[in-house]
Amino acid sequence: MTERDPHGLSGPASSRIYDFSIGGKDNYTSDREAALEAFAAFPAARHLPRENRKFMRRAVRFLLEAGVRQFIDVGCGLPGKGNVHQVAHAVDPDARVVYVDHDPVAVVHFQALLHALPTAIAVHADAREPEGILNHPEVAALIDFDRPVGVLMISVLCHLRDEEGPEAAVGAFRDAVAPGSHLALCEFTDENLTARERSVSEELTRRNGVVVTFRCRERIAGFLDGFEPVEPGLVYAPEWRPDRPYDEPTGWLLAAVARKV
């Protein structure tokens, strides 16, 4: 029997598919089916969530070393091991963290996790409407936009179709944050995608409704306009400032951290 979704949602969601992919338990049958279908079609898909999450943690540690003490995690997904606030608070317990997701399940789980923390919140909002995040009263109360902010967009713009304005979403944050702020970006690239893989990906999107948009390196680099990339620039996610040995990159995720000057 298919389990009931207590939030009244239907169909798989990217945040819960990701949760299942990293061994989480906050997912439903439709999410697991979608994940297993992707794993069967693309062997590399099993490795992507860990490439993605390990980059996020390295990026947050880098930003902390750069003096950043405020973070907005756009498209945070469900809590896992080593969440942004846990990485940040290990260095500075007063660091401020905002988690944002359009999936109410993800937001509810983060709110439960953060209920006793005055320096971290989770809000229900959508990257497609960045002003709704930037002008959210809880965000405005916690984040001082006159001081540097670390904006994390970790595999979130890939869930926006071209017509949904991913450049505008990044641009709204770029214009809102102070000099010295940083953008940490990780995105799906099509540079190693075969014609068959592209076709299968489009079919999976059509069937399960979870959008994954693969973009060329030049288009992803364009998301960094107005920021100055730090070394080593835009590279495969495991190659961005690795802190330990890593497996051969899948070649599906490009990542960068860039500073607003």
Total structural domains within the chain: 1
Residue 49 lies in a domain: yes
**Which pLDDT score, from 0 to 100, does residue 8 have?**
42
Residue 162 lies in a domain: yes
Tens digit of each residue's pLDDT (9 = 90 or more) over 84-125:
999 999 999 999 999 999 999 899 999 999 999 999 999 999
Domain that holds residue 87: 14-259
Residue 95 lies in a domain: yes
What mean pLDDT value characterizes the chain?
91
Residue 2 lies in a domain: no
**Which pLDDT score, from 0 to 100, does residue 42 have?**
79
User: Is residue 66 very low, low, confident or very high in pLDDT (cuts 50, 70, 90)?
Assistant: very high
Beta strands 70-74 and 96-101, pairing class = parallel
Q: Which two tokens stand for residue 28?
A: 């439903």
Q: Which two tokens stand for residue 128?
A: 């497609």
Radius of gyration of the chain, Cα coordinates, nearest whole angstrom: 17
**Which pLDDT score, from 0 to 100, does residue 18 have?**
74
**Which pLDDT score, from 0 to 100, does residue 136 have?**
98
Residue 1 lies in a domain: no
Residue 209 lies in a domain: yes
Residue with tokens 């965000």: 139
The pTM score is: 0.88
Helix axes 14-21, 48-65, angle to 10 degrees: 100
**Which pLDDT score, from 0 to 100, does residue 227 have?**
98
Residue 223 lies in a domain: yes
Cα(120)–Cα(114) distance, integer angstroms: 6
Cα(159)–Cα(161) distance, integer angstroms: 7
Residue 8 lies in a domain: no
**Cβ density class 221-242: b for 16+ within 10 Å, e for less:** bebbeebebbeeebbbbbebee
Q: What are phi and psi of 215, to 5 degrees?
A: -130, 155
**Which pLDDT score, from 0 to 100, does residue 210 have?**
78
Tens digit of each residue's pLDDT (9 = 90 or more) over 133-156:
999 999 999 999 999 999 999 999
Share of the chain above pLDDT 90, in %: 71
User: Is residue 14 very low, low, confident or very high in pLDDT (cuts 50, 70, 90)?
Assistant: confident
**Which pLDDT score, from 0 to 100, does residue 10 have?**
58
Tens digit of each residue's pLDDT (9 = 90 or more) over 203-258:
877 877 778 899 999 999 999 999 999 999 999 999 999 999 998 999 999 999 99
CATH number of domain containing 206: 3.40.50.150
**Which pLDDT score, from 0 to 100, does residue 134 have?**
98
The answer, yes or no, to whether residue 43 has pLDDT greater than 80, is no
Residue 191 parent element (H or E): none
Query: CB neighbours (10 Å) of residue 209?
Result: 14
Q: Which two tokens stand for residue 19?
A: 């949760």
